[in-house]
Amino acid sequence: MAIIRDAWSEFDDHRPYQPPISEIVRELLAEPLPESGRPPLQVLEEARTVLDQSLAQPRPRWFAFVGSSGLEAGVLADALAATFDINLASWAEAASELEDVALRFVAEFVGLKWHCGAFTSGGSVSNLSALAAARERALPGSRAAGTGGLRAALYCSLDAHHSIVRAAEVLGLGSAQVRTIPVDEDRRMIPDALDEAIARDRKLGIIPVAVVATAGTTLTGAVDPIADVAEVARRHGAWLHVDGAYGLPAAALPSMQNVFAGLNQADSITVDAHKWLYLPKACGLVLVRDPDSLTAAFGHEESYFPHVETSTHSADRTLEYSRPFRALKVWLAFRLHGASAFRAAIERNLGHARLLWSLVRDAADLEAYRPPQLSVVPFRPRVADVDRHTVRLAQALRVDGRVYVAHASIDGAQFLRPCFVNFRTTDEDVEALLSIVREVSAKVR
């Protein structure tokens, strides 16, 4: 507990640098399989050293990718869940009922009117689970018989997460059957282009399985026009899945409800609580409108898994059998802090994005891609050979270690891509990001 307590207190402040991997740690990690045990305090201290020399996303100046914040309530929940080692594969009494409550908490938080689903390891498995349900609806019996040579397609924006392509591959639809729909100047899917793509496929006898609208793309934070996309999907009889793994918690804010209009028209949604609900990994969830849809995709009864206590087990609506009690950290966090605290933290992160955008907009030596829709703000310096310089700048910033920010390619142009999803981040950290970028950029050759 002392190691955890010390880490929490350290995470509240930025780190002046990232310590390199020491020779002590390299020698430790090169040791062979131990034949006998070591003193517990020694082993714990070795673990602390390894962790201290690893990149930790809870730090307030971690701006790369879409991080997690390691909210203390989630850490405690993980420790409690591991202590009791509850398995959510079958009926687990109160734990199974709590999982349903935690799903309802998240659904209510983002404004959904339905909440059947399951907790998963993250957005990739959640998206796969939802699209498995969509495939079974569009191609009944395909989970048993396969697609049988039927041609079927998925539709998503140009900037959708690659997990959609992976899902198509795993589900036997094939990555070649994923249609990437053009985006507008704000990088939102163009509904008319979606309509044309589906109509074109239908004329060729290709079945539209599902449309995936992204509620917060990883690249720029763009939110597809869900209501308009939903209308197109409904017209063609396609399942509508909303991948909100990153951005959907922002739908809880009254100021953002127009951005997420149409959410309740979806057939399924994905949220990663280990992103913008600040909890430690891994904690994703999938929610579906039709309670029977996941069971149609995954339900089963085997001789070793009889349905006695309940009509279904949790494994009847998920890919996984043995699942950790992920729901506990969502339930505990909302109980300890209340929904209003989460809304306030998300609003602060949106404010960080707006602050960075305004500072870059007003700077002669910097340029931003577009105004932020959520909390991703791609920007870069105004220099000669800017793309090459930006890639080298991102590498130099990682070596410098005071901030951690990744670069991304937008239509071939290179940008730094900070994302604000940490409740510990302050306006001072945002201003420090620009100061450090300028300082390091001046040294890049």
Copy the structure tokens of residue 345. Answer: 């933290």
Q: What percent of the chain has pLDDT over 90?
A: 86
Domain with 263 in it: what CATH number?
A: 3.40.640.10
| Residue 55 scores a pLDDT above 70 | yes
User: pLDDT tens digits for 284-329?
Assistant: 999 999 999 999 999 888 877 777 665 668 888 899 989 999 999 9
Local confidence band at 177 (pLDDT 50, 70, 90 cut-offs)? very high
In angstroms, how far apart are the furthest CA atoms of the chain? 70
Local confidence band at 185 (pLDDT 50, 70, 90 cut-offs)? very high
Are residues 215 and 314 located together in one domain of the fold? yes
Average pLDDT, the chain: 95
Residues with Cβ < 8 Å from 258, sequence gap 6 or more?
none
Whether 10 is in a domain gets the answer: no
Whether 230 is in a domain gets the answer: yes
Ramachandran sector of residue 309 (left: φ over 0; alpha: ψ -120 to 50; beta: rest): alpha
Local confidence band at 91 (pLDDT 50, 70, 90 cut-offs)? confident
pLDDT at 308: 67
Give the end of a domain, one of 336, 369, 395: 336
Residue corresponding to tokens 């036997």: 172
Structural domain span for residue 320: 86-336
Structural domain total, the chain: 2
pLDDT at 9: 84
Are residues 292 and 432 located together in one domain of the fold? no
| Residue 7 scores a pLDDT above 90 | no
Whether 61 is in a domain gets the answer: no
Are residues 328 and 356 located together in one domain of the fold? no
Are residues 307 and 350 located together in one domain of the fold? no
| Residue 14 scores a pLDDT above 90 | no
- Count, in order, helices (H) and strands (E) of the chain: 16, 11
Whether 66 is in a domain gets the answer: no
| Residue 249 scores a pLDDT above 90 | yes
Are residues 124 and 267 located together in one domain of the fold? yes
CA neighbor of 72 nearest in space, from 421, 424, 327: 424
CA neighbor of 332 nearest in space, from 80, 9, 51: 80
Local confidence band at 16 (pLDDT 50, 70, 90 cut-offs)? confident
Domain with 345 in it: what CATH number?
A: 3.90.1150.10
Mean pLDDT of 340-348: 98
Are residues 326 and 406 located together in one domain of the fold? no
Give the end of a domain, one of 336, 354, 381: 336
Are residues 405 and 431 located together in one domain of the fold? yes
Residues with Cβ < 8 Å from 22, sequence gap 6 or more?
49, 53
Whether 363 is in a domain gets the answer: yes
Q: What percent of the chain has pLDDT over 70?
A: 99
CB 397 within 8 A of CB 64: no
Are residues 192 and 326 located together in one domain of the fold? yes
What number of CA atoms fall less than 13 Å from residue 263's CA on the CB side? 31
Give the end of a domain, one of 266, 301, 336: 336
Are residues 95 and 210 located together in one domain of the fold? yes
